[in-house]
Chains A and B, each alone.
Chain A
Amino acid sequence: MDQPHSVYLHIPFCKHRCAYCDFNTFAGMEKYIPEYLQALTREIEIASLLCPERYPVHSIFFGGGTPSLLPALSLRSLLEKLYLVFEISDNAEISLEANPGTVSRASLGSLRKAGFNRLSLGVQSANPGELRLLERSHNYFDVIRSVNWARQSGFDNLSLDLIYGLPGQTLENWQVSVQRSLALAPEHLSLYALTIESGTLLGCWAAKGYIPIPDPDCAAEMYEWAAGFLEQRGYEHYEISNWAVPGFQCRHNLQYWRNLPYFGFGAGAHGCVGGVRTANESALTRYIRLMKQGAAGDYPAAPAVVERRLIDTKTEMQETMLTGLRLTEEGVSMERFRRRFGIEMREVFGEQIEKLTAVGLLEWVKDRTPDHSEVLRLTRRGHLLGNQVFIHFVE
């Protein structure tokens, strides 16, 4: 119970749906914002009623969608609600996802004052053609302006998202995007490989042959170049797709990767508290309706929960490996595993580990703690072949 939790709030609204996006987002549904805020507030209240005591919380993440589309005032009241319900630590990381072009000097100022202390900007690319292809509604000047305003407002923890492996993208274009982003001196960078999902605009274009399918080897080149470049610039590569100035790792995402508990509020949000994974109804209006009419059972049977999965120990161990091995530096510590489960990692996963170390995808290293505990993690080659490792930790 004294273990700190995290809280995720999903804000599914967008001005326009990007061409690659298959997240739970809705464009042109702004008229539902007031009702959605009510539902979200109610969900937080219900959670508080169901909780036997106030949970300690050390990170909050407003994700989307485009949370920055909401008025700063609304975001502030949500945050205030959370402060009423949870025991939020003084140094809690409170992140907001924002799209350049949806923020202003004024709004960023209010958000910072409201308590947000980390801003994650969806930059995606510095190349106008690529931004058009992705159907992003901003340009790179918006990015520069947003970063400046954020700095002026007192945000000293900034993260930028970039996407690589785009149709038609060259290594040179990619290098420019990374270099321009680094010029803005962000504390944190997420570099995501594009996945063309069916049901998205890109998926549709690719199926019709309008755009070339990106070559995975090119994407690998881009990744490896960026990894080298960022290392030179003093960024620590701490997760497959994430780099940070030491001390600025994203605490909220670390919570997921260390397989630690988090609440999820909002349409389609996922939570994992008390050994139960839950998923909320993802359709916007149905979520609102469920929250309006529904009565709550025991947590996490909140009214909008449509999926509920009890995590047994075996599954928890598998998921700990699955998520922990994404942490490229930290990996999964033998010692922590033993403390958490009361059994040796090798005893449970010996066969898989042996096989994967033999083919050079996993390695044992000593970690940085004084007692130099042994840590299992992906090899450098394994960073890009994660799935070949992870499939050994699912049924």
Chain B
Amino acid sequence: MTANIRNFCIIAHVDHGKSTLADRLLQLTGTISDREMTEQVLDAMDLEREKGVTIKASAVRMLYTAQDAVEYELNLIDTPGHVDFGYEVSRALYACEGAILVVDATQGIEAQTLANLYSALEADLEIIPVINKIDLPSAAPDEVAEDIVSLLGGSLDEIIHVSAKEGKNIQAVLEAIVREVPAPKVDAEAPMRALVFDSHYDSYKGVIAYVRMIEGILRPAQTVRMMATRVDVKPVEIGIFTPGQKPVQSLAAGEVGYIATGLKTVQDCRVGDTITLASAPAAEPLPGYRTPKPMVFAGIYPAEADDYGDLRDALEKLQLNDASLSYEPETSQALGFGFRAGFLGLFHMEIIQERLEREYDLDMVFTAPTVEYEVVKLDGARILIDSPAELPDENEIEEIREPWMHLEIISPTDFYGPVMEIVTKRRGHFVSQEYPAPHRVQLNFEIPLSELIVDFFDDLKSRTRGYASMDYRLVEYRPDELQKLEILVNGEPVDALAAIVHKQDAYHKGQRLITRLKATIPRQLFDVAIQASSGGRVISRANVKALRKDVLAKCYGGDITRKKKLLEKQKKGKKRMKKIGNVEIPQEAFMAVLRLENE
């Protein structure tokens, strides 16, 4: 029955309507009744719904009787929609034979449309272009269709125009899937190999691996092997998503389903790994596996030292579901005990931060994010550091290298100037330009990652009125004139406020940081001197004058309760501050380093 299977995914730029289209497909095939239909079923987490992006991929099996009266098994594999998850996207694409390319009729082709499209073409997928949101007054479907044709070839009338929101023309999409997407090519006799394209942790069944069966067949009682992590397990259950988990008696080549491994951590069952039979293992894993490499690092500290245990537990739990989150204990002189965490990108970091706050109700200090630097010492030794505090003494350093990225920005041509300015202001340089569609320019740059992780995206969005989009990937590590910028509070260096900056920016950034800190650090019972120093000299200094007046004038009509409430609030605020020596520093101060670009 492999001939009736269609494995496909939907690729789109953020907000172009991928999840809404998925919802309609589920509804139209009766996979989910209208009653069960909560908006965007595939995005299980609130956070995703709010951010309007999909963080975790999912997979659903739909049964669809096409116009040829044959019933097809359609497996929809959902892909994460953000640049930080490029690797996860590539694995999900590899599990498919076709992709629906959704383009917003009002927005046209965007950076991630292209990035995802290129990945899909690389994975040799059949592309079905779909123009969404044709119901909107500002829709320009014909223009967008022309852009798509000039990009992909083919003819204008092959492009399906839909409104996922209004459920318009969805059937045409299903028919196109049946017609255009090839059935999986399988070798049922070969040793079993399944590709893990996603996973999540379930407290009853352990890690659930989302798999695409590539070759062979799997039955419930068979022991399987994760080829990369070399772990053998006897699955608790195998099954398919309908979209709930439904156990089955076999998973055969070409099918998409899950293996409930019973494993305790997603670290043992990584995205991209190949699962084979322990009794008859395949000789080779499927190509393309890599361990996720964190690109952005930040310190996470509990606001109150007592919460260290809670923070550790929360990180442990998050990691159960997120193999790309890494962390290790770190101690800061200023902030006490905490963790150094690594993230795939800034967006990934924001998600973790929000989840810690929202789901675990933790009060934390996140230090300014940094990238991983490669330091070559005079004695030839090379070390990797992901925290400014780890930077060796200047006299021992031969050179410091930092990750450089290839950056693509797609924008309406009107914003050519602002985009160039944003990038060059941040040490980036122009490489080339293309015009993928009329009035759209794709600008290719190279830029240090450290410049990208601080407000770059927000800045880009605001300078281009939300029209520009971006994508980036690592090129290489390159040396530059980098040095440590240190902050001293009453003469004591505060490790958590240190940053690694370019020599030419040190003076500027030091001054602005001091201005910021002066505004953030509340007045104390004594004068507080703050200084920025870099390259062995003090760049900037300021004084936070001692507090003179802090008293409630009046206790009105015997209302002591109200007065007490105010004092309790004040006390709570004080408790949340971090004490460095005698000086109380609010958490915002540690983020001040972050916001330097915006002034």
Contact = CB atoms under 8 A, between A and B. Distances in A.
Contact of B571 (A309, A326, A394): A394
A192 B554 contact: yes
Contacts of B556: 23
Interface in B331-374: none
A358 B172 CA distance: 80
Interface stretch (B66-74, B158-166, B559-567, B590-598): B559-567
A203 interface: no
Interface string A322-333: 110010000000
Interface in A99-120: none
A258 interface: no
A229 B377 CA distance: 67
Interface range on chain A (Cβ under 8 Å from partner):
35 or more
Contacts of A385: 525, 547-551
Contact of A216 (B525, B549, B561): B549
Nearest to B558: A270
B567 A391 contact: yes
A377 interface: no
B558 A262 contact: yes
Contact of A384 (B551, B560, B561): B551
Interface stretch (A166-174, A230-238, A271-279): A271-279
Interface stretch (A30-38, A147-155, A217-225): A217-225
Interface in B532-550: 545, 547-550
A47 B499 CA distance: 66
B559 A279 contact: yes
Contacts of A195: 552-553
Interface in A29-61: none
A201 interface: no
Nearest to A64: B557
Contacts of A264: 557-558
B570 interface: yes
A24 to B, nearest CB: 8
Nearest to A9: B557
A192 B567 contact: no
A222 B229 CA distance: 73
B124 interface: no
Nearest to A378: B551
Which of A383, A388, A392 has the most chain B CB within a 10 Å cutoff? A388
B330 interface: no
Contacts of B553: 192-195, 240-241
A348 B558 CA distance: 25
Interface in A320-369: 322-323, 326, 359, 361
A191 B366 CA distance: 44
Contacts of B394: none
A299 interface: no
For A10, A216, A309, the residue with the greatest tally of chain B CB atoms inside 10 Å of its CB is A216
A390 interface: yes
Interface in A228-265: 240-241, 256-257, 262, 264
A198 interface: no
B548 A279 contact: no
Contact of A220 (B548, B557, B570): B548
Contacts of B1: none
Contacts, number: 98
Nearest to A23: B556
A175 to B, nearest CB: 18
B567 to A, nearest CB: 5
Contact of A269 (B552, B557, B561): B557
A90 interface: no
A216 B548 contact: yes
B55 to A, nearest CB: 38
B574 interface: yes
A87 to B, nearest CB: 20
B476 interface: no
Contacts of B283: none
B142 interface: no
Contacts of A240: 551, 553
Contacts of A387: 550-552, 567, 570
Contacts of A217: 545, 548-549
Contacts of A388: 525, 547, 550
A384 B550 contact: yes
Contact of B567 (A216, A359, A384, A394): A394
A195 B549 CA distance: 12
B143 interface: no
A307 B553 CA distance: 24
A386 interface: yes
B381 interface: no
A386 B552 CA distance: 8
Contact of B561 (A8, A194, A270, A390): A270
A309 B561 contact: yes
B558 A220 contact: no
Contact of A271 (B548, B554, B558, B574): B558
B262 to A, nearest CB: 47
A194 B559 CA distance: 18
A395 interface: yes
A63 interface: yes
Given A322-B564, A390-B567, A391-B574, A272 B558 contact: yes
Contact of A277 (B525, B547, B561, B567): B561
A319 interface: yes
A326 B555 contact: yes
Nearest to B523: A216
B568 interface: yes
Contacts of B545: 217
Contacts of B548: 216-217, 220, 384-385
A219 B549 contact: yes
B221 to A, nearest CB: 60
B557 A10 contact: yes
A93 to B, nearest CB: 15
A218 B564 CA distance: 26
Nearest to A315: B564
Contacts of B550: 216, 384-388
Nearest to A222: B549
A174 to B, nearest CB: 14
A272 B559 CA distance: 10
A361 to B, nearest CB: 8
B7 to A, nearest CB: 57
Given A10-B557, A256-B558, A256-B560, A383 B568 contact: no
Nearest to A386: B551
Contacts of A220: 548-549
Contacts of A326: 555
Nearest to B545: A217
B525 A322 contact: no
Contact of A359 (B525, B558, B570, B571): B525
A319 B558 contact: no
Nearest to A307: B561
B560 A223 contact: no
22 contacts: A8-B558, A23-B556, A194-B553, A216-B548, A217-B545, A219-B549, A223-B549, A240-B553, A241-B553, A256-B560, A270-B557, A270-B560, A279-B559, A322-B564, A326-B555, A359-B525, A361-B525, A384-B548, A386-B551, A387-B550, A392-B571, A394-B567
Given A272-B558, A391-B567, 18 more contacts: A23-B556, A195-B553, A216-B550, A240-B551, A241-B554, A256-B555, A256-B560, A264-B558, A270-B561, A319-B560, A319-B564, A384-B549, A384-B550, A385-B550, A386-B550, A387-B550, A387-B567, A395-B568
Interface of A: 8, 10, 23, 63, 192-195, 216-217, 219-220, 223, 240-241, 256-257, 262, 264, 268-272, 277, 279, 307, 309, 319, 322-323, 326, 359, 361, 383-388, 390-392, 394-395
Please give me the 6 A-B residue pairs with the lowest Cβ-Cβ distance, nearest first.
A386-B551, A220-B548, A391-B571, A192-B553, A220-B549, A384-B549
